[in-house]
Structure 1
Amino acid sequence: MSDLVVVVYPTEQKAEEVRQRLFELQKEYLIKIGDAVIATKNESGHVKLNQLVNSTAIGAASGGIWGLLIGAIFLMPLVGAAIGAASGALGGALTDYGINDKFMKELSETLQPGNAALFVLVDGVTSDKVLEDLRGTGGTVLKTSLDHSKEQALREALAAHPITTEAAASQPSA
């Protein structure tokens, strides 16, 4: 079962930094991310979603290729490519992978202008190691589907001071 975690950061750059950090942890097999989206709210109140996958562009590209191939059969490759790209783009725009876009936009309406919310759909996690790595990154937990103890551990890790290598070396080992 997947868990949803939404953390608000003061800037989009900070949210992007944490998202990249999570991707690095995924490369180390410490977390499995289903989706990671950054939502920002500008001064006029418009919410923008910075998603990993642009399904409209992917649909247009794949539709164009299929349309070109089918069009070549009927000796009209350019028409086939155009129709395929248009239908693929429409299909891609109607497809929503991961976290529901409408839900993210509604929840992001509560953001202050300039702030950014990092939406992460977590499919699996080694909690202690990931929380240790995220320690002190800041941010405020806005919403989660975690149980109370895991949510509290996340809040504490985000708010804690980061462990420096000097502090870690000075601590006595058990």
Structure 2
Amino acid sequence: MSDLIVIVYPNETKAEEVRQRLLELQKEYIIKLGDAVIATKTEEGKVKLNQLFNATATGAVSGSFWGMLIGILFLNPLVGLALGATSGALGGALTDVGINDAFMRDLSTSIEPGNGALFVLVQEMTADKVLKEIQGFGGVVLKTSLDETKEQVLRDALLQASAASA
């Protein structure tokens, strides 16, 4: 079962630093991420999501390949390429993997403009090692699906880092 953790940082840059550190930890097999998205809110109140990968572009590339392959079989590779890219892009745009975009946009309306909210879907982790790596970045826990004890440990560690930097 996956856990959702949402931590708010003072800016998008700080949230990106933490996301990059988590991706490095994933390469070391300390954490396994299902998704990691940064949400920011503009002064006008519009929420922007910074996804790890673009599903529309990925769908277009894979669709182009399969469309061209099918087009070669039916002696019209350019039409196959165009139809494959279009259908792949459409399929990618309609596919929402990881954390639900509508949920992230809704929750991000509560953050201050300029802040960066890091949404992390954790599939597996060695909690003490991950916490040790990210506690120096500070941040405020906005929401988690962790049990109360683990959530409080996370809140306390981030609070210590915030107090030390202030």
* TM-score tier (shorter): over 0.9
TM (norm. structure 1) is 0.89
TM (norm. structure 2) is 0.94
What is the distance in 2 between the residues matched to 1:146 and 1:134? 17
What is the distance in 2 between the residues matched to 1:158 and 1:26? 20
What is the distance in 2 between the residues matched to 1:37 and 1:94? 18
Instruction: Name the counterpart of 1:62.
Output: 62
Instruction: Name the counterpart of 1:53.
Output: 53
Unaligned runs of 5+ residues in structure 1 are: 163-174
What is the distance in 2 between the residues matched to 1:60 and 1:11? 32
What is the distance in 2 between the residues matched to 1:77 and 1:136? 54
Identical columns (%): 69
The count of corresponding residues between Structure 1 and Structure 2 is 162
What is the distance in 2 between the residues matched to 1:13 and 1:156? 23
Instruction: Name the counterpart of 1:115.
Output: 115
Q: CA shift at 1:136, angstroms?
A: 2.8
Which secondary structure state, in structure 1, belongs to the residue aligned with residue 16 of structure 2?
helix
Large movers: runs of 4+ above 4 Å:
none
Instruction: Name the counterpart of 2:82.
Output: 82
Q: Does the CA-based 8 Å contact 1:11-1:114 persist in structure 2?
A: yes
Instruction: Name the counterpart of 1:101.
Output: 101
Higher Cα Rg, which structure: 1
Which secondary structure state, in structure 2, belongs to the residue aligned with residue 32 of structure 1?
strand
> Greater helix share, 1 or 2?
2
Which secondary structure state, in structure 2, belongs to the residue aligned with residue 80 of structure 1?
helix
Aligned partner of 2:66: which letter? W
User: How big is each residue's C-alpha offset from its partner over 1:113-163, in whole Å with a ceiling of 9 and x where there is no partner?
Assistant: 11110000011111111112222311110000001110000011112249x
